[in-house]
C-alpha cells in the first residue's frame, strides 16, 4: 500500500539494467512544491502558470508579483531543475481578467483551435514580456527551464525568441539582474512532430503534452464528454508521434552537438500502467502529478529497458485493438 510506496521516496529511480530515470512533478501553484518534494521529485517538469492568472476578475499579476511566485518555486526546489510554462490560457483554461478586458474583441468559435497558449501570449506581446521578464529575473535563484506551450509555426518560434531578447534588453536597461534559462517547447500539435527538426534546432529541450497531442491527433475535444470514449492515448497514431518525438530528440545530439532533453508531461507520464511502454520507447524523463511519482517509480525499479525496447516496437507495429492488446500484454508480462 501507500506506506510501502513511501519507503521508495529516497530510492534512486533506476531500472534493473541500470538506466537512470528522471521523475518530475507537475504543479499549479508555488505551494505545490511541498508535495513535489514530499514525493521525492527530482524537480518540476511543468508549472502551469495560468493558475496564477485564473479567477482574477480585473487585473493580472504584475511583473513583481509573478517574479515572487516563480522565485519561490525555483528557490523552494533547492537547485533542482524547475520547468515553468508560460501561460496556456484559452480553451479549457479561460482567463476572466483578459476576457473582460478584451470583451468582444475575439469570438471563440472553437476555443481548442483558437487563440490559446502561445497564440494568446503573442497576441499581447506587452503582457507576454511581463511574464518573460519575471521568469528571467527568477532564473538567478536556481535552475530554470522556460517552457512554451502549443507552438506549431516557425514564425511563433522566432517571435518567442525575439521577445525573450527584448525582455532581457528591457531588464538590462532597467538595471535589473537576470539569470540564464534553458528554453523548451511543448510538443502537443501533430504538425509540430512532423517538423520536429525545426524544434530541435531552436530549443534546448522539448516536453510532450500528450493531453493535447491526443486531442489534436484524433480531433477529439478533450472537454467534450460526448466523444470522451474516443479519446485514446494508446491510439496507434498517438504512439507513433510519441515514439518519433523521443527517438528524434535523442538522435539530435549527433547533429546538434548537445543532447535535446525530452520528457512527457501529459497524463500518460503519470499512469503506471504505461510506464513500461514509455521506457521501451526510450523515454527517461517523466513529469506527473506528485501523487503518481512513487507508483511510477515502483514500475521503473522492476523494469528492464533492454528487454522492453523490442516489445515497445512490437506495440507500435500493431494497428488493430486485438493485436495491440496482445503486444501490450507481452510488455507487462
Ligand atoms: C498536455 O497537453 O499534455 C499538458 C501537459 O498540458 P495541459 O494539460 O495543461 O494542456
Ligand atoms: Mg497542453
pLDDT in tens, 111-168: 899 999 999 999 999 999 999 999 999 999 999 999 999 999 999 999 999 999 999 9
For residue 211, give the ligand 1 atom closest to its CA. 3
Q: Which of 12, 23, 141, 26 is nearest to 78 (CA)?
A: 141
pLDDT for 81: 98
Percent of the chain topping pLDDT 70: 95
pLDDT for 116: 92
Q: Which residue's C-alpha comes closest to atom 9 of ligand 1?
A: 48
Average pLDDT, stretch 217-240?
97
Q: pLDDT at residue 103 above 60? A: no
Q: pLDDT at residue 229 above 80? A: yes
pLDDT for 101: 46
Site to probe by mutation for ligand 1, drawn from 112, 209, 241, 269 as the one with most ligand atoms within 8 Å of Cβ, is 209
135 exposed, middle or buried (CB, 10 Å; 0-12, 13-18, 19+)? buried
Average pLDDT, stretch 194-215?
98
pLDDT for 111: 86
Ligand 2 centre from 276 Cα, in Å?
23
Average pLDDT, stretch 277-290?
98
Confidence of residue 99 (pLDDT cuts 50, 70, 90): low
124 SS3 class:
coil
Ligand 2 centre from 150 Cα, in Å?
7
Instruction: Please answer whether residues 253 and 260 qualify as being in contact, where contact means their C-beta atoms are separated by less than 8 angstroms.
Output: yes
Instruction: Please answer whether residues 35 and 290 qualify as being in contact, where contact means their C-beta atoms are separated by less than 8 angstroms.
Output: yes
* Pocket lining for ligand 1, CB < 6 angstroms: 46, 48, 88, 188, 209-212, 265-266
48 is in an annotated binding site: yes
Average pLDDT, stretch 219-230?
95
Ligand 1 centre from 213 Cα, in Å?
9
Average pLDDT, stretch 290-309?
98
Kindly indicate whether the ipTM for this predicted assembly is greater than 0.95, answering yes or no: yes
Q: Which residue's C-alpha comes closest to atom 6 of ligand 1?
A: 209
For residue 265, give the ligand 1 atom closest to its CA. 5
The ligand placed nearest to the CA atom of residue 265 is 1
Site to probe by mutation for ligand 1, drawn from 265, 285, 287, 288 as the one with most ligand atoms within 8 Å of Cβ, is 265
Q: Which of 50, 42, 70 is nearest to 261 (CA)?
A: 42
Q: Which of 98, 111, 107, 117 is nearest to 57 (CA)?
A: 98
For residue 266, give the ligand 1 atom closest to its CA. 3
Q: Which of 309, 96, 76, 81 is nearest to 205 (CA)?
A: 81
Instruction: Please answer whether residues 276 and 313 qualify as being in contact, where contact means their C-beta atoms are separated by less than 8 angstroms.
Output: no
pLDDT for 321: 96
Ligand 1 centre from 212 Cα, in Å?
6
For residue 208, give the ligand 1 atom closest to its CA. 3
Does the annotation count 33 as an active-site position?
no
- What's the DSSP call for residue 14? B
Ligand 1 centre from 123 Cα, in Å?
21
Q: Which of 265, 296, 303, 305 does the annotation list as catalytic?
A: 265
Do the strands 81-85 and 143-148 form a parallel or antiparallel pair, or are they unpaired? parallel
Beta-sheet strands, E only, within the chain:
22-27, 44-48, 81-85, 143-148, 181-187, 205-208, 261-264, 285-288
Site to probe by mutation for ligand 1, drawn from 94, 207, 211 as the one with most ligand atoms within 8 Å of Cβ, is 211
Q: Which residue's C-alpha comes closest to atom 8 of ligand 1?
A: 211
Confidence of residue 248 (pLDDT cuts 50, 70, 90): very high
Question: CB under 8 Å to 294, separation ≥6 — which residues?
Answer: 5, 6, 8, 9, 39, 40
Amino acid at each position: 500500500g501507500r506506506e510501502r510506496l513511501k519507503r521508495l521516496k529516497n530510492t534512486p529511480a533506476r531500472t534493473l539494467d541500470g538506466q537512470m530515470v528522471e521523475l518530475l512533478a507537475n504543479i499549479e501553484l508555488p505551494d505545490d512544491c511541498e508535495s513535489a518534494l514530499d514525493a521525492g521529485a527530482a524537480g518540476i517538469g511543468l508549472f502551469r502558470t495560468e493558475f496564477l492568472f485564473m479567477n482574477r476578475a480585473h487585473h493580472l499579476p504584475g511583473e513583481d508579483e509573478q517574479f515572487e511566485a516563480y522565485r519561490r518555486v525555483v528557490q523552494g526546489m533547492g537547485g533542482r531543475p524547475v520547468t515553468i510554462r508560460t501561460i496556456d490560457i484559452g480553451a479549457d483554461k479561460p482567463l476572466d481578467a483578459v476576457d473582460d478586458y478584451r470583451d468582444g474583441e475575439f469570438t471563440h468559435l472553437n476555443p481548442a483551435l483558437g487563440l490559446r497558449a502561445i497564440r494568446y501570449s503573442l497576441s499581447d506581446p506587452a503582457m507576454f514580456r511581463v511574464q518573460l521578464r519575471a521568469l528571467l529575473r527568477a532564473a538567478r535563484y536556481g535552475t530554470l527551464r522556460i517552457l512554451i506551450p502549443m507552438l506549431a509555426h516557425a514564425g511563433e518560434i522566432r517571435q518567442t525568441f525575439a521577445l525573450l531578447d527584448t525582455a532581457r534588453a528591457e531588464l538590462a536597461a532597467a538595471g535589473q539582474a537576470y539569470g540564464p534559462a534553458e528554453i523548451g517547447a511543448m510538443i502537443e500539435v501533430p504538425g509540430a512532430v512532423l517538423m520536429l527538426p525545426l524544434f530541435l534546432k531552436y530549443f534546448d529541450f522539448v516536453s510532450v503534452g500528450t493531453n493535447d497531442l491526443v486531442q489534436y491527433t484524433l480531433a477529439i475535444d478533450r472537454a467534450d464528454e460526448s466523444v470522451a470514449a474516443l479519446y485514446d492515448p494508446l491510439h496507434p497514431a498517438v504512439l507513433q508521434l510519441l515514439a518519433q518525438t523521443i527517438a528524434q530528440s535523442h538522435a539530435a545530439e549527433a547533429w546538434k552537438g548537445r543532447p535535446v532533453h525530452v520528457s512527457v508531461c501529459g497524463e500518460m507520464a503519470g499512469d503506471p500502467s504505461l510506464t513500461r511502454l514509455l521506457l521501451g520507447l526510450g523515454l527517461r524523463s517523466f513529469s506527473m502529478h506528485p501523487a503518481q511519482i512513487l507508483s511510477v517509480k515502483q514500475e521503473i525499479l522492476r523494469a528492464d529497458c533492454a528487454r522492453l525496447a523490442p516489445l515497445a516496437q512490437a506495440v507500435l507495429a500493431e494497428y488493430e485493438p486485438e493485436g495491440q492488446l496482445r503486444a501490450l500484454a507481452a510488455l507487462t508480462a
